[in-house]
Structure 1
Amino acid sequence: MRQSSAIVATPAPTRAVHPGPVLEMRASRIVAALDGFRTAFPGIRAFYATKCNTHPGVLSTLHNAGSGFEVASVQEVDLLRETGVQPHDMLFSNPVRAREQTARAAEAGVYRFSVDSYEEVRRVAEEAPGSCVYARLITAGDDSVVPSEGKFGVDAAGAVSLLVQARELGLTPYGVTFHMGSQSLHPAALDRPLREVAAIMERLSQVGIKLQMVDIGGGFPARYDEPVPALELFGRVAAAGIARLPYPVEVFAEPGRALVAEAGTFRCRVIGVAERPSGWWAHTDLGVFHGLMEVLESGGNLHYPIHDTRGLRLRRCFHLTGPTCDSQDTWARNVLLSADLREGDELLVSSAGAYTSVYASRFNGFAPPRVVMI
């Protein structure tokens, strides 16, 4: 009897699903960076700029290491309270807030607010009566890689007027703050603002106001793909300026990038390689709109250290671009990588712990990166 032959379909090989880009944050490097900042700025208390990286693991690591926190919204206040941070360890340094932001922060126990306008002083007096206010000075920020200044701040005379008004409205004229920019490369950027602070303190003394605090802000650099000045150089300039102040005050700083950038590494996947008239292109599942927005903000001047896991000695220049259809979604150019880079290879993007995951969106439907603590 003839047996019938059956055609058995062979299942298609299953392809592993890549989880998408991942930002790995190393807690030990965050703690080491905070310790290094304290060494460079003895006697100055660090208030981490929460907006820089809001992952709960990052916040709890810094909280357990004794950092204070600078906030820009009541949502950040709530997030920190969930982490166990007490309101007396927070500074609300966003100089303009919606009324409900100030009121809710005050209800939570936050009592120190930055201001840079008469309108804001009046609103703090109405929404958070009896609070401490500190005036924000305007600075140029011309020496920073990522432009961030020009939106906030008053001159020295304006700071004096604001703090006098604060006293008249029942608030405590608490201090003065400034910000030298983001990823500043010139320690001398601290000198002029501190000289202005000394003059402000002298003028306020003449009308019976003695400040309690000076906040030298943030902008301290992290190492990317180019050398940066050591934090100790910034610390020396700060110490010299503080020594010139007419009387002792508490001194705070608001480091963000300097504490978390170098603790983070993106792991992303090459999804396609193409040779075009403009050169070789590697398309990745990580892009500008999913974590690397600072490339656009800096006009391409912020260069992340980038490596591939193939490790071939023969190298080729690649332009690196994200998964979206937007032409701006190109995050690095002329990067030397393995010449035989191909689909499925992995890239490691270092110094990626600051202003990356917090900027990520779902543009074009692509999911933002996962953040994991190591």
Structure 2
Amino acid sequence: MLRTLHAAGTRFEVASVDEVDILRSLGVPGQDLLFSNPVRAREQTRGAARAGVYRFAVDSVDELHRVAEEAPGSCVYARLSTGDRTSLVPSEGKFGVDVAGAVDLLVRARTLGLVPYGITFHIGSQSLTPGALTGPLADVHTVLARLISHGIRLQMVDIGGGFPAVYDAPVPSLAAFGRAAAAGLAQLPYPVEVFAEPGRCLVAEAGTFRCRVIGVAQRPSGWWVHTDLGVFNGMMEVLESGGDLRYPIWDGRGSATRRSWHVTGPTCDGQDTYARDVALSADLREGDELFIGSAGAYTTVYASRFNGFAMPRVVVT
């Protein structure tokens, strides 16, 4: 996937030096990377700078000083807090400053010998609301306008990611997000280079889990199908989303008679259930196969050997 994207001319956003090293091994120069994790261990910034990375996100004064010390002369871009809570897999709340905080950071950057380079935000993962871009872009406008009075003109706006993939229901088109972004960007006080960080929407629908039924049971709570796939070896986002992220699931038996099933994993943890009330063949039995679609994003990378169960094997076709 990374080779294909590199050949297509994309650049990349990273969150760790390990990701920097993976991309450099594929021929991507450090100069083509954005380090958007706004709080890094000191050695992460140092290692990335040595690899040629020169653009770093920040959202605190402490981080600004670490960048100045470990990557002097670098470009920095401030992370805005969006306050949006409309995404299915919330990823906001941990990072970000308000408009005044962003202005302060970028003005301070210049006094530390850094280049005030840009501004970024993220509307949350698997957003279903193109309008979620409107408020953050209005804040970006305010930041850019206020910085003019300090003699600072930014070069870049990074609108982040969050663009949705299709799971068990239709989602807004990427064009809808594009129109919302274009409308906000058109209002900025001067032109900037615009970056985006699509991830899930590029790869989710390319992956399918193939798992085995290890047992079925009827209980007072309903019919349960136990599989060798579970939350802790690939389906963690079901927990992260409170069950709102619903994967398409079908079975290899394909019987005309259907039954509502709860689909659960192999561990003894009570949270290890990744789907409820799914219509599957009524005569499912041990040894049958289930297929979970749209599993190409945020699945195997979360997998562990919790309770001693194996992690999924990845097969590329």
- Map 1:93-242 to 2 at 5 A: 93-242=36-185
- 1:267-315 CA-to-partner distances (Å, cap 9, x unmatched) read 1111111111111111101000000000000000000000111111110
Aligned to 1:338: 281
Q: Which amino acid aligns with 1:356?
A: T
Structure 1 Cα separation of the partners of residues 246 and 7 of structure 2: 31
Aligned to 1:40: none
Aligned to 1:258: 201
Aligned to 2:240: 297
14, 17, 25: which one aligns with 1:82: 25
* Residue aligned with 2:84, SS: coil
Q: Identity, % of aligned pairs?
A: 74
Aligned to 1:17: none
Aligned to 1:53: none
Q: Which amino acid aligns with 2:59?
A: D
Structure 1 Cα separation of the partners of residues 297 and 83 of structure 2: 22
* Residue aligned with 2:95, SS: coil
Structure 2 Cα separation of the partners of residues 310 and 283 of structure 1: 15
* Residue aligned with 2:208, SS: strand
Stretch deviating more after TM superposition (123-132 or 59-68): 59-68
Structure having greater relative contact order (Cα 8 Å, sep ≥ 6): 1
Structure 2 Cα separation of the partners of residues 63 and 308 of structure 1: 36
Q: After TM superposition, give the deviation of residue 65 of structure 1 in Å.
A: 2.2
* Residue aligned with 2:268, SS: coil
Aligned 8 A contact 1:268 1:285 in 2? yes
Stretch deviating more after TM superposition (363-372 or 103-112): 363-372
Structure 2 Cα separation of the partners of residues 372 and 68 of structure 1: 26
Q: Which amino acid aligns with 2:12?
A: F
Q: Which runs of 5+ in 1 are unaligned?
A: 1-57
* Residue aligned with 2:314, SS: strand
Aligned 8 A contact 1:141 1:148 in 2? no
- 1:157-199 CA-to-partner distances (Å, cap 9, x unmatched) read 1101100110111111000000011111111110111111111
Aligned to 1:360: 303
Q: What is the CA RMSD across the aligned residues, in angstroms?
A: 0.9
Q: After TM superposition, give the deviation of residue 67 of structure 1 in Å.
A: 1.9
TM-score, normalised via structure 2 length: 0.98
Aligned to 1:277: 220
Q: Which runs of 5+ in 2 are unaligned?
A: none
328, 335, 342: which one aligns with 2:271: 328
Structure 1 Cα separation of the partners of residues 237 and 126 of structure 2: 11
